[in-house]
Structure 1
Amino acid sequence: MASDIQTAFEVLRASVTEGRAENVRYRQNELYSLHSALRENPELICDAIAKDYAGSREKAETEFYLAMDAVRISYEKLDFDKALEVEYSVKFGKDNTKRRAALGLVHIRPTRHSRFYSVITPLVAALEAGNCIFVELDRSSPAVDRVLLEILPKALDRDTFHISQERLDEEYLNQVNFFVDENDDELSASAKDSHTPLKGRTVCILDRTGDLELAAKFLSSTQTSSDYTSPYSPDLLLVNEYLKDTFITRCLDFASQVEHSSSAKVATSEELEFQTLLRQAESEGEIITHKRKIGFTIVELKNRSSKLASKKVSGRYLLLLPAAGIVDSVTSQRTSPKFLASYIFAAPAAAKFIGEQITSHATYINQVPPQLLIGPPSPTNHPHVLHPRFTSDMFSTPQPQFIVPPTSLPPPFKLMELALRQLKPTGQRPGHAIGFFEQGILLGLGSTALVVLPLLGWGLFRAVKFGMRYI
């Protein structure tokens, strides 16, 4: 007797072959049905989100809103009349350069963080692109998973969608056309897979020119009970040494004002492991901890060669490393692997320079958007997207069609003449704009000249006056 998984895969593969999900009207109906089903159960969904993550009701409603917004965005992007016009453009003698085709069968393995959003956003993007979908849950979010298992099968066509708590083995993984593993640790992706780097690190730099109050407010807000598990939650903070003490005080002030859930949250194995590393580092005198009665702790690193400086933080901690200035901050991170994201709090000119020197998949200047802390990382083999975290382009492939003949080649006797034509001059004027470093050099030279030239003038005057005595 065939298992449920085997039966589901046979139905899904048959639907892929048939192209059942590729019809635009079908996709519109599926997204409309999904949105309606979710609209009917807001209390049930928000209660489940708050229960699984010991978060506030406001945080649960924020996640619900963003997930619903993702459904709305995908639905509104589907234009039936325009789709028909594009589909039949070749029939009327026009190139179809923007044609895209669905990948086929998409397998989604969501992360535990922001479970509801992490399931809905790739699901609706894959639906919008015309794919058949298999969602695999791992029982790490029992309340949310229970709701998803209850709502989604009723809302979506079982010929093109299946959700299960069974982990797929290689036999079935080899049958999928695209695998979205939000729990993958790798930063690279193969052509077939969409990896989201769960353990990619983030870095934050607070320069002397930055707004200390703004930085303290944003960074403390990332440490709420539902946000600190985000892959985009800041890991390492490089703060100008002149601002360090004030920043620590203000950050703890803001953190104490953040609403915390009364529900206890069970520490994960990763959090327990990180706590062990902290105790070891503290016993060896490598760190200084700053905290109050709340759970959030700032860990000041006394030694930048500490293993903690290159660790992904697990728990409500912010690793702080004092820096002498911009150059010190930049050079200390130049050899680090590509960051998942970097946050820079500095004046625009300084932020531009820092952002160009720190390698990361995305750079946010003077902000940590709240949308960023909800959901999985944006797939690193596609341009970074804030919200929705997944787009239909990630679940489709370009397949352009051309019917209009291209521009004809020149006649043979003209080929060499045209090939050897000189390019137009660039039009660059003599000299160049004064950049960030040039400004510093000129400022330094000017400051030195203000001191040295008067001294030289005074010395020359005294020398001439002294020499005149002997003439």
Structure 2
Amino acid sequence: MAAELRDIRSAAIDGRMHNAFFQKEQLKSLHDILSKNVTEIQDQIGKDHRYTQAEASVEYWLALRCIAEAYKSIDPKQHLQAEYAIAKSKDASDAREPVGIVVVEPAQHTFFYSLISALVPALVHGNCIIIQAEKTLLESPKFILSLIESALDDHVFKVVYSQLTGEEIASRHTRIIQKQDINPRVIAIIERDADLQLAAKAIASARFSLRGKSPFAPDLVLVNEWVKKDFLSALVQHTSAFISDTVPKDPVQKLSKSRFHDTILKENLGEVVFSTSEGYILNVKNR
């Protein structure tokens, strides 16, 4: 593996990504190829994660906006002034030296946007990039990585599918680790003085958007007794806007939900406040 990274190390040492014009060229190339494949990217994301068209579009456009904003932020004149400040006997106290190589371990959730949001800033700050990806049966990560590989110079961007050690990289580097090894429970707390409509809308959106797979989707909501009734009413109202019976059904998932409902009711642990084929809200009474 060390030999395969020779080009990346060489580019990091000679500072190839330090040049502002080269940075803009790379970002333009990346933006162009992603723009040409907009339909394919959104379709792949939607199929892999069963997102709605709107959800796939949001992830796509957020990623492209990240590239566009980074491109606009690059000022070649300012780069030149900073580069030759010392030679012209000027203070360069704000000068910054790039790390050299940035190793990105992208998250599986919203893979496209997560990857771009780490990749682009690292490039703009003069670093070469290594993507340490996981082998997966999903189609969108492989397709997206292949597009990025074709857009960027192969001396500044590399994709690997194995765990890299510092000895293999053999150059100054840092890691951006986005993936989560565990899925901790997310708990939301609704205080007595909370804006109930705003809180209900935020929780419904976080829990039921993106198929409920967001790492920020609350698993449990603790509500102050004084506002519990009003909050449940608001939550049902806003949840209805996010759940649709037109989403393709999973027979196995429907069966497991039905059994869960039966368990809650049979053991008198609580009551089902709202339920559809895509999700439900439980009012837990026996704690």
Q: Is 1:65 aligned to 2:48, yes or no?
A: no
Q: Is 1:168 aligned to 2:152, yes or no?
A: no
- Equivalent residue number for residue 280 of structure 2: 297
- Equivalent residue number for residue 38 of structure 2: 42
Quote the RMSD (CA, aligned, Å).
3.2
Q: Is 1:148 aligned to 2:133, yes or no?
A: no
- Equivalent residue number for residue 92 of structure 1: 88
- 1:211–1:229 CA distance, 2 compared to 1 (3 A): same
Matches within 5 A, 1:13-412: 13-140=9-136, 142-164=138-160, 166-170=161-165, 172=168, 177-185=173-181, 199=183, 202-226=186-210, 228-260=212-244, 262-263=247-248, 288-302=271-285
1:85-143 residue CA offsets vs partner (Å, 9 max, x unmatched):
12222223322121111111111111111011111111111111111111122234622
Q: CA deviation at 1:206?
A: 2.5
TM-score of the aligned structures, taking structure 1 as reference length: 0.53
Question: What runs of 5+ residues in structure 1 fail to find an aligned partner?
Answer: 186-197, 305-471
What is the distance in 2 between the residues matched to 1:219 and 1:146?
Answer: 32
Q: Give 3-state SS (helix, strand or coil) of 1:101's partner.
A: coil
What is the distance in 2 between the residues matched to 1:151 and 1:289?
Answer: 46
Q: CA deviation at 1:208?
A: 3.0
1:169-216 residue CA offsets vs partner (Å, 9 max, x unmatched):
43536756111121245xxxxxxxxxxxx7466443323333322222
Question: What runs of 5+ residues in structure 2 fail to find an aligned partner?
Answer: none
What is the distance in 2 between the residues matched to 1:259 and 1:300?
Answer: 18
Q: Give 3-state SS (helix, strand or coil) of 1:226's partner.
A: helix
Task: Please say if residues 256 and 294 of structure 1, whose CA atoms lie closer than 8 Å, have aligned partners that are also in contact.
Answer: no
What is the distance in 2 between the residues matched to 1:163 and 1:67?
Answer: 19
Q: CA deviation at 1:267?
A: 9.7
The higher radius of gyration belongs to: 1
- 1:267–1:51 CA distance, 2 compared to 1 (3 A): farther
Q: CA deviation at 1:149?
A: 3.2
- 1:13–1:295 CA distance, 2 compared to 1 (3 A): same
What is the distance in 2 between the residues matched to 1:23 and 1:84?
Answer: 9
Structure 2 counterpart of 1:123, which letter? L
What is the distance in 1 between the residues matched to 2:267 and 2:95?
Answer: 61
Q: Give 3-state SS (helix, strand or coil) of 1:298's partner.
A: strand
Q: CA deviation at 1:10?
A: 1.4
- 1:174–1:41 CA distance, 2 compared to 1 (3 A): same
Structure 1 counterpart of 2:213, which letter? T
| Structure 1, 245-254 or 116-125: larger mean CA deviation | 245-254
Structure 1 counterpart of 2:47, which letter? K
Task: Please say if residues 45 and 140 of structure 2, whose CA atoms lie closer than 8 Å, have aligned partners that are also in contact.
Answer: yes
- Equivalent residue number for residue 421 of structure 1: none
Structure 1 counterpart of 2:114, which letter? S
What is the distance in 2 between the residues matched to 1:266 and 1:130?
Answer: 50
Task: Please say if residues 48 and 143 of structure 1, whose CA atoms lie closer than 8 Å, have aligned partners that are also in contact.
Answer: yes
Q: CA deviation at 1:55?
A: 0.9
Indicate the percent of aligned positions where both proteins have the same amino acid. 28
Q: CA deviation at 1:226?
A: 1.1
Q: CA deviation at 1:264?
A: 5.3
What is the distance in 2 between the residues matched to 1:97 and 1:265?
Answer: 60
What is the distance in 2 between the residues matched to 1:279 and 1:110?
Answer: 39
Q: Which has the higher helix share?
A: 2
TM-score of the aligned structures, taking structure 2 as reference length: 0.84
- Count of aligned pairs between the two proteins: 282
Q: Give 3-state SS (helix, strand or coil) of 2:276's partner.
A: coil
Task: Please say if residues 105 and 176 of structure 2, whose CA atoms lie closer than 8 Å, have aligned partners that are also in contact.
Answer: yes
Task: Please say if residues 261 and 272 of structure 2, whose CA atoms lie closer than 8 Å, have aligned partners that are also in contact.
Answer: no
Structure 1 counterpart of 2:159, which letter? I
Q: Give 3-state SS (helix, strand or coil) of 2:87's partner.
A: helix
Task: Please say if residues 223 and 296 of structure 1, whose CA atoms lie closer than 8 Å, have aligned partners that are also in contact.
Answer: no
